[in-house]
Amino acid sequence: MYKKKLGQTYYTNRHSCFLLQYHIVLVTKYRRPVLTGAVKELVYQVIQDIFDEKDLVILEMNGEADHIHILFEADPFTAPGTLVNVIKTKTSRYARTQYGDTILKESCQDSLFWSNSYFTTIANENSLQLIQEYIKNQCYFTTIANENSLQLIQEYINNQ
């Protein structure tokens, strides 16, 4: 990756200065809970290797059993959609090679690991910290959402 000059928050090279921060969310096919244990570790490591290979900086990466959030800094030549395709292809290939006959055999019967869709947005100085906290505390926010959902459902049932 390019270098940040001392005291600057953006990257520079001979002809430009930039700070591109993306938040990507990838979801498993049919939201199957396959990103656990050894499969999760392998997928996260492959993603880290991809980013290292492309000299991109991961600011935060976390998720749950059925999806993953990645917050990262990129150069102007990195197309988020192309990067998503590389991530999905490599992680799926490595996971199937290593765990296709064991852990993934039951949950991914049709050779698809990831959903065709993905979410991406650009982070800015106002949203960066909020997104980082959300990704770090992914399990906590999901637990709260589930508890609130259950509470709302119970209130609805009680009012019927």
- Mind listing the pLDDT tens digit for each residue in 4-46? 877 888 888 888 888 999 999 999 988 888 898 998 999 999 9
Whole-model pTM over 0.95: no
List beta partners, residue 62: 69
Task: Give, for 69, the enclosing helix (H) or strand (E).
Answer: strand 67-74
d(CA 155, CA 158): 5
Dihedral (CA of 53, 88, 86, 127) sign: negative
pLDDT value for 116: 92
Work out the mean pLDDT of the chain and round it to a whole number.
84
Would you state the structure tokens that stand for residue 34, as one six-digit string? 């396959």
pLDDT value for 29: 87
Residue 14 burial class via C-beta count within 10 angstroms: exposed 0-12, middle 13-18, buried 19 and up: exposed
pLDDT value for 55: 92
Give the pLDDT band of residue 49 (cuts 50, 70, 90): very high
